[in-house]
Each structure stands twice: as C-alpha cells, then as structure tokens.
Amino acid sequence: MNLFSRHKNTVVLTVLLLSQLLALAVQVKRQTAVGPVRLIRLLAINGLAPFERMLIYSGESTRAVWSDYIDLRNVRRENLRLQAEAGQMRLERAREQEDARQARRIQALLEFKQQWIDTTVAAQVIGTSGTETARLLYLDKGSRDGIKVDLAVITPDGVVGKVLSVYGETAQVLMMNDPTSGVGATLVNSRLQGIVKGTSTGQLQLNYIMGDEPVQPGDRVVTSGGDRVFPKGLPIGTVVNVSMGRNLFLDITVKPAADLDRLEEVLVITAQKARAPDAAGLGPIRASDILAEHLPGVPQAPPGQAAQQPPPSAPKAAQALPAAERQRPAAPALPAAERQRPAAPAKPAPEGTHPQ
C-alpha cells in the first residue's frame, strides 16, 4: 500500500498513456493489401503470430517424433507383410516367365506360325444395300487398288465383313451381321470356338457352343483364324445375352465391337504375312527336353529290394527243368581202387563143345 501511494502519480500517468495509446490504436487504420485495417488488430496479430507458430511447430514435431521413431509397433508387422508379398510376386513372375518361355519353345518346335496384317487399303463407304434382308456395303476402291474377293474388311474397333464382289473402281462388302455370312470366332476366357453369323434382324449370334459350357455376358469374342479370311485375334464383339437353344446348343447374342450402322471409313486387308515366334535366347530346342518336363519318370527300386532279385546270368535251361529233376541228388563217385581194377579174363570153353 505504501508502494502504491509512493508511486501513485507515476502509475496513474502510465495508465493514462496506455489508455490513450489503446484509443489511438482503435481509431487509427493502416492500409494493407486487403484494404484498411485497424492498428490494434495489426498489433494483436503480429504479437500473437510468433507464439502460435511456435505452438504449431512444437506440436507437429512431437507428432513426427512419436509416429516415426517411437510408435513403430505396426510398422514392423506391415514391413514383414510387404516383404512376404514381394517374395510371392517374384516367385509368380519367375513362374510366368518360365511358362512363357516354354510356350515359345513349343511353338518354335512345332513351327507354329501366326498370320499378321501386313498391308491394308483405306476405303470410303459410298453406299449400302438399302434393304433389311441383305447387309451390304459399297466401297470406293476396287480391283485397280488391289482389292480382291474374300479379303477381310475391318475398322480400328473390330471386324466389319469380307469382300463379296469386286469391280474396277468399287467393291461390295458382305457385313458379318448378314444372315449368309460366317466368321470363325473364339471366346477369349474359355477358348471355345464357334461361328458368328448374322440374323434376319441384323444381330450377331455365336453358334455351335454346347449348352453345358460356361459362357457369361461380358465375355469377349475374337476371330479364331480358322476361316482363312480374318487374322487371328481381331475383336468381333462382346457377349450380351446367353440362353439355352435348340439341339443342345446355346443361343449367344453378341454386340459387335465396330459400329456397323455408322461406318464411313474401313480398312481392307490386302496382304497377310506369316511370322514364326521369336526363338532368340531360348537355347537348343529338343522335343525330349520338353516331354521330360511333363512325362513322369520311371521310379527306382529301393536298395533293399535290389539284393533279393535273382542274378540275370542264371541259365534259362536250368530254370526250365521240372522241380523233381532239379532236386534229384547226384550219383556218388567210385573209389579210386574200383576205377583202376583190371577186367576179369574170359573162361576157356570145355572140350568137345564149340563156342556159341
């Protein structure tokens, strides 16, 4: 109390000065990038900002130290799991690479060749058949451009059809959704083969697939190459409906990969080239090596059974004798004195008799 009464004037003056400064800070405004701001607000922000940054930095540092150096219980377990998965993936990759090499060796051994698109001719669609019973296209390229009958017609999306007839400057194409067409097809997932034909309504149908085969909507259909017109592996379409039909076959409806109703440009495959698989780096290819990987070997006899088998040098004649002959004892040998005794002399005949 004595201290306050002693410095009463100084304290009162200090309070008045601070109050005046506070009032000025509230009234005075400073111009900033966002507009005029009161000085008291700037002072408060600038005074508290360092403390806030220090608190945030210390909190982040504490969390980083805890999560990166102290709380590592789950990290080790996760690391072990990832290492196991990486090892399993390496084994699967090595197995797949070996399977691929083996397939390439078998293809090279059998001189398996695939048909590859070598030359194409781009053509413009200039007309259609104009009827619902026939699905035909007319192209602006003909025999003068190298177009021939039975050449495959495709787009970048999939198969269109084949050349039906050729003229000098035009060609007629039979689309694959025509009822009289036929394209050799293969289901990608199950590798089942059939024939894709058109219906009277312009839809595609995959025929000759047995009713007990696993075919699902969404399965992709590609060319099989068996018709000798389309190269193997070109997209035909996707299965959209599967139902049981007549004669134990499935009715499989296929949506074409190419938009057959909006064709403007097509490609005509004028040349196909047979290419053998690349056998570089496969080493010597022998049929015996490939068969040895799949055929079971001859099991070896255990060591104990090998000693019990009869020797192969036993004479067959002795084995063919009857059991009584093989068991008959041998005749005893004569003594040496009996073998060396001389023969007895013959007795003379009595007189008056003649030898017989």
Q: Using one digit for the tens of pLDDT, what is the confidence trace for 186-228?
A: 999 889 999 999 998 889 999 999 988 989 999 999 999 888 8
Give dist(CA 254, CA 89) in Å, integer.
36
Asked if 21 and 158 sit in the same domain, the reply is no
Q: Using one digit for the tens of pLDDT, what is the confidence trace for 284-325?
A: 655 555 555 555 555 555 555 544 555 544 444 444 444 444
Asked if 50 and 194 sit in the same domain, the reply is no
Asked if 129 and 36 sit in the same domain, the reply is no
Asked if 139 and 254 sit in the same domain, the reply is yes
Asked if 241 and 127 sit in the same domain, the reply is yes
Based on the structure, what is the number of domains in the chain? Answer: 2
Per-residue confidence (pLDDT) for residue 184, from 0 to 100 = 94
Longest dimension (CA), the chain: 205
DSSP strand pairing (29-32 vs 220-223):
unpaired
**Domain endpoint, select from 216, 238, 273:** 273
206 lies in some domain: yes
Range in 82-91, 113-122, 267-276 the model is least confident about:
113-122
347 lies in some domain: no
Cα–Cα separations (whole angstroms), residue 335 to 222, 329, 340: 100, 18, 9
In this prediction, what percent of the chain has a pLDDT beyond 70? 70
Per-residue confidence (pLDDT) for residue 318, from 0 to 100 = 42
List residues bridging with 37 in a β-sheet. 30
**Domain endpoint, select from 229, 254, 273:** 273
Q: Which domain holds residue 27?
A: 2-56
132 lies in some domain: yes
Residue 246 pLDDT class (50, 70, 90 cuts): confident
HSE-CB at 225 with a 13 A cutoff on CA atoms is 12
List residues bridging with 117 in a β-sheet. 272
- Top-confidence range, 12-16, 103-107, 229-233, 329-333: 229-233
22 lies in some domain: yes
Which SS3 state, helix, strand or coil, does residue 334 take? coil
Structure tokens at 27: 């009234």
Higher pLDDT, 170 or 329: 170
86 lies in some domain: no
187: amino acid identity, one letter: L
Asked if 40 and 188 sit in the same domain, the reply is no
Range in 38-47, 163-172, 204-213 the model is least confident about:
38-47
249 lies in some domain: yes
Cα–Cα separations (whole angstroms), residue 298 to 287, 295, 350: 19, 10, 87
**Domain endpoint, select from 245, 273, 301:** 273
Asked if 151 and 249 sit in the same domain, the reply is yes
82 lies in some domain: no
Which distant-in-sequence residues (6+ apart) come within 8 Å of 29 by Cβ?
36, 37, 38, 39
Range in 48-57, 78-87, 106-115, 142-151 the model is least confident about:
106-115
Asked if 50 and 126 sit in the same domain, the reply is no
Q: Name residue, tokens 């090998």.
A: 306
Cα–Cα separations (whole angstroms), residue 221 to 45, 81, 116, 162, 242: 70, 39, 18, 18, 13
Asked if 123 and 265 sit in the same domain, the reply is yes
The CATH number of whichever domain residue 126 belongs to comes to: 2.40.10.340
256 lies in some domain: yes
